Structure 1
């Protein structure tokens, strides 16, 4: 893989040329940034920026004013190659808090190991309705220990309002959901995004996560996507590397909580 070329393509397709990630969301391009304004319970944030040292602080302040005016918490999704080089420090100074760093990993579908099946006793079930979305959200809360309210709302909107561009699945064992994940298929791009792969603790290390990655990659291949990408945590990186994913850069979510700042 030509890492520089694929990263440049990713920036053009998925960041500078971003599309809304679901019903009710919109993309705006203003002041050297591309931002998504999500629905009331959806994700809002900066997905791409073209800034230098002279313009960075002003652009950050403008985005804070904009989203504060909407009463929306938002995220600045910073990649390791974004400029200026001290953009992360400038975001922290402006009141953002950095979430754990992730790794952008990409694979060409044709190069992936896809003949991976779930372990014995586990079946992969497609998510097509509210009941399935609830299972995905419940698994994520158990797997990650976080509130899944926003993800639940966004996935339900995608499954019911834009089903052609999302694939969500639950792995079930003995009638109980043990792992769940989704894939977002962005029309007009060459990338399918793998998101939210989480497995309950008692089922980790048995190959369920690998099976869900392979299942979604097969769907991406069938629908004509050339690449699949993951924002991987450290726990997932070795599994993805064994499947054929390669590291392109890092990505760090910088989060700005409007209500928290107002209270301060």
Structure 2
């Protein structure tokens, strides 16, 4: 499938929509936290959650003028140096200038990992398989469900990251509001929470994030089910396109569902933080 076959949207326009979507994912809840600092400028988005956790601190969606880009890069990085909080700078196909990665290296950041940007037409999903028996998927509506979501995500670190749990505790009122553009999901087997996913509505597209399955429940189709449920909800809500960032482990699954690659997205970090 060519990029232009995705509802006729050119690749660069879709990449820009994906950046706008990620900005919603990365900043909407943080804007509503006490002590957070969020700048949503025309030239970039800077998100400082106030927590010492780069899971919630970002720079992204750069649209920098080539003549002043290096100085703007240094200015953004200096914010996190002053606050002594870790962060990530995400660079995708729509970011400007084209040599942004080189400018980040000059400023002292290092590439940490790369993922594949992907997109899908929600009306062409391959969603014919039934969910695994015994799996119930709930869209998060209560504080208890949100706590389950947070604890599952925190368990992706060893030991579990308490700042992840803290973030969702602080963001609970915002995330449970009716107008939240972040739709969170938890998969349960019996009473046990086993998987998560998030759908962000922004940039005219649906963005998938935080797809995670507890190790003991992997390779059972649960991750696929937690991927499809938000996509089908987004389609029912009238959205046409979905985007995501895929690690090497997820490429096969997302391709089976109907996603196609749209470009590479690279995460940059300060030295030391970029180490695996």
Does the alignment reach a TM-score above 0.5?
yes
2:195 to 179, 196, 200: 179
2:174 to 161, 174, 192: 161
Q: Is 1:73 equivalent to 2:102 in the alignment? A: no
Give distance in 2, aligned partners of 1:174 and 1:239: 25
Deviation at 1:110, TM superposition (A): 0.9
Give distance in 2, aligned partners of 1:132 and 1:202: 20
1:204 to 203, 215, 218: 218
Query: Does the 8 A contact of 1:16 with 1:47 survive in 2?
Result: no
Query: Does the 8 A contact of 2:182 with 2:199 survive in 1?
Result: yes
Greater mean deviation of Cα atoms: 41-50 or 231-240: 41-50
Q: Please tell me the root mean square deviation across aligned C-alpha atoms, in Å.
A: 3.0
Q: Is 1:28 equivalent to 2:44 in the alignment? A: no
Residues 1:155 and 1:190: Cα distance change in structure 2 (over 3 Å): farther
The 5 Å alignment of 1:51-200 reads: 51=64, 54-80=67-93, 82-143=95-156, 145=158, 147-156=160-169, 158-162=171-175, 163=177, 164-186=180-202, 189-200=203-214
Residues 1:194 and 1:159: Cα distance change in structure 2 (over 3 Å): farther
Q: Is 1:244 equivalent to 2:258 in the alignment? A: yes
Give distance in 1, aligned partners of 2:21 and 2:132: 40
1:37 to 33, 47, 52: 47
Per-residue CA deviations over 1:84-140 (Å, capped at 9, x if unaligned) read 444323323423233221111111111112344321122112322332222223323
Per-residue CA deviations over 1:38-83 (Å, capped at 9, x if unaligned) read 4323833222223465433222211122333444433211114544
Give distance in 2, aligned partners of 1:123 and 1:17: 27
Query: Does the 8 A contact of 2:47 with 2:58 survive in 1?
Result: yes
2:20 to 2, 8, 15: 15
* Structure 2 unmatched runs, 5+: none
Count of residue pairs the alignment pairs up: 255
Per-residue CA deviations over 1:157-185 (Å, capped at 9, x if unaligned) read 55521433222122122432221111122
Query: Does the 8 A contact of 1:114 with 1:217 survive in 2?
Result: no
Q: State the TM-score, normalizing by the size of structure 1.
A: 0.81
Give distance in 2, aligned partners of 1:114 and 1:46: 34
Deviation at 1:155, TM superposition (A): 4.0
Q: State the TM-score, normalizing by the size of structure 2.
A: 0.78
Residues 1:179 and 1:12: Cα distance change in structure 2 (over 3 Å): closer
Query: Does the 8 A contact of 1:44 with 1:74 survive in 2?
Result: yes
* Structure 1 unmatched runs, 5+: none
